[in-house]
Chains A and B, each alone.
Chain A
Amino acid sequence: EAGVAQSPRYKIIEKRQSVAFWCNPISGHATLYWYQQILGQGPKLLIQFQNNGVVDDSQLPKDRFSAERLKGVDSTLKIQPAKLEDSAVYLCASSLVKGVGVFGPNEAFFGQGTRLTVV
């Protein structure tokens, strides 16, 4: 079974530029998450999709971050304009059913992440 695919693996941009990350979840996984992981910290949830609808985006800085999941499969996360403090690893994860730990399998599957450096 293929895992969660993310691209690019690395990205370096200047502040105020824009950047986009792409995620392809495991086939059949209805739920998709984007996490931000700053160096030395644990992942922080940015947004959660159930199919192509947003379940939770309460911690997404909506003035500069946006995300979409068209057709309920692939997802893109965009930052525009980027700030120095956006430097982090952006992790995409998926799970089989609605939410983790609610019904069925309780684990989330993570991609390898995109390391963003804003200079």
Chain B
Amino acid sequence: SQQGEEDPQALSIQEGENATMNCSYKTSINNLQWYRQNSGRGLVHLILIRSNEREKHSGRLRVTLDTSKKSSSLLITASRAADTASYFCATLNQAGTALIFGKGTTLSVSS
């Protein structure tokens, strides 16, 4: 079964705007990861946040984690057309050996 659920399912913004995606999960986690998937391609790892971290930055990406609410958010600042993709959050399965993905948020950035 899927662990994380992203919200919204779809998001359309203009270039230069910020995009925020949320992820809720069900069980306790060691870490939470965000991946990007361009149309027709595989997934690419973006960023990982550990359960003892509250916020992490990587370039234009900012991830927050609230373990009390079992939720995470991914913020992409100053969006570009090239950011158009689906974004998935992922957590580890119970055995801690494999990633379990949510349904994803589809982001469209228009110029």
Contact = CB atoms under 8 A, between A and B. Distances in A.
Contact of B43 (A31, A48, A91, A102): A91
B98 A33 contact: yes
Interface stretch (A13-21, A35-43, A60-68, A72-80): A35-43
A101 B45 contact: no
Interface stretch (B12-20, B70-78, B101-109): B101-109
A101 B31 contact: yes
A59 B109 CA distance: 35
Interface string A79-119: 00000000000010100001111100011111111010000
A48 B99 CA distance: 10
Interface string A10-53: 00000000000000000000010101000011111100100000
For chain B, the bracket of interface size reads 20 to 34
Given A101-B30, A101-B92, A102-B96, A42 B101 contact: yes
A93 B103 CA distance: 18
Interface residues of A, number: 29
Contacts of B41: 112-113
B103 A40 contact: yes
Nearest to B32: A101
Contact of B42 (A40, A55, A101, A110): A110
Given A106-B48, A107-B48, A110-B44, A100 B101 contact: no
Contacts of A107: 33, 45, 48
Q: Which 10 A-B pairs have the closest CB atoms?
A: A99-B97, A110-B42, A42-B101, A107-B45, A110-B43, A112-B42, A43-B101, A42-B103, A101-B92, A48-B98
Interface of A: 4, 31, 33, 35, 40-45, 48, 55-56, 91, 93, 98-102, 106-113, 115
